[in-house]
Amino acid sequence: MEYRKILTVQDISCVGQCSLTVALPILSAAGIETAILPSAVLSTHTAGFTGFTCRDLTEDMPAIMDHWKKEGITFDAIYTGYLGSARQIELVKKMFKELKGKDFVSIVDPAMADNGKLYPAFDQAFVDEMKTLAFEADIILPNITEACCLTDMEYKENYDEAYIDELLKKLRALGAKTIILTGVGYDEKTTGVMVDEPENRQYYKHRRIAKGSHGTGDVYASAFVGAYMRGKTSYQAASIAAEYTVRCIENTVDDESHWYGVKFEPILPYYIEALND
């Protein structure tokens, strides 16, 4: 097995099972060397907790990058998740140029919105900057709300195949390369993921769990990235990540007290086995 090295840039929400506390264990389980660049340190994530603390680390990022450049450190891939500000997005674009290794892949989860709404920390200026990053990346993993933000298309809770087709075509017209559009479901019992590549579109459908869960976008994106870096195709990686994420949600739904994230850790053996198939 080829040993590959990735950098992931996202926040540390100390409690809450999202962003780096999810990406690092999942990528490590996939057998990928994972370097991290924390964009901010928060006491918890912002979706449901109140009174959280937040230390923005934007000012530290250029010095960290400069040190890596001096050491000649490069990466096979850079994967970004929740970023704290438009300035951080600019810095990530610089990282794509200056820290890329041979056969480099840039993967952007434009984590900024869900269920038709932007997360509390973001505004239109952030969305506009995120567009420039997403359309430069090799692979993007938006949910439908984020895809609407990136294309200025109206968000619809009830939609049909024509709406999804228009969304994907708009993303592609704006420069998107491989698009992994998550949370695409046409009936009550199922949902799925659209894998849209320049010459090929495939849909992976799986069971839908009615109750929404926090952090599942990060679990999904990290599991996708781990599988992709292990040499799976985009479609295989998208399917493995979907099956893993569904199992993580199923492992959590019955526990009312565990509202803030999913219990993804006990399901890692399933993920590792799926990668070895």
Q: Closer to ligand PXL by CB, 8 or 13: give it.
A: 13
Task: Identify the residue among 47, 57, 253, 272 touching ligand PXL (CB under 6 A).
Answer: 47
Task: Identify the residue among 76, 129, 146, 218 touching ligand PXL (CB under 6 A).
Answer: 218
DSSP-derived 3-state class of residue 275: helix
Q: Closer to ligand PXL by CB, 23 or 168: give it.
A: 23
The tokens for 156 are: 């619809």
CB-side neighbour CA atoms (13 Å) of 174: 23
d(CA 238, CA 93): 25
Could you give the string, one character per residue 26-45, with x where binding to ligand PXL holds by CB under 6 A and - elsewhere?
----------------x--x
Which 149-178 residues touch ligand PXL, going by CB under 6 A? none
d(CA 42, CA 63): 21
74: amino acid identity, one letter: T
CB within 8 A of 215, min separation 6: which ones? 16, 17, 18, 22, 45, 260, 261, 262
The tokens for 100 are: 């890329």
d(CA 40, CA 23): 15
Cβ of residue 153: shortest distance to ligand PXL, in angstroms? 22
CB–CB of 10/83 below 8 Å? yes
Which 119-148 residues touch ligand PXL, going by CB under 6 A? 119
Could you give the string, one character per residue 72-111, with x where binding to ligand PXL holds by CB under 6 A and - elsewhere?
----------x----------------------------x
Residues contacting ligand PXL: total by CB under 6 A: 14
Interface residues with ligand PXL (CB under 6 A) are 11, 13, 18-19, 42, 45-47, 82, 111, 119, 215, 217-218
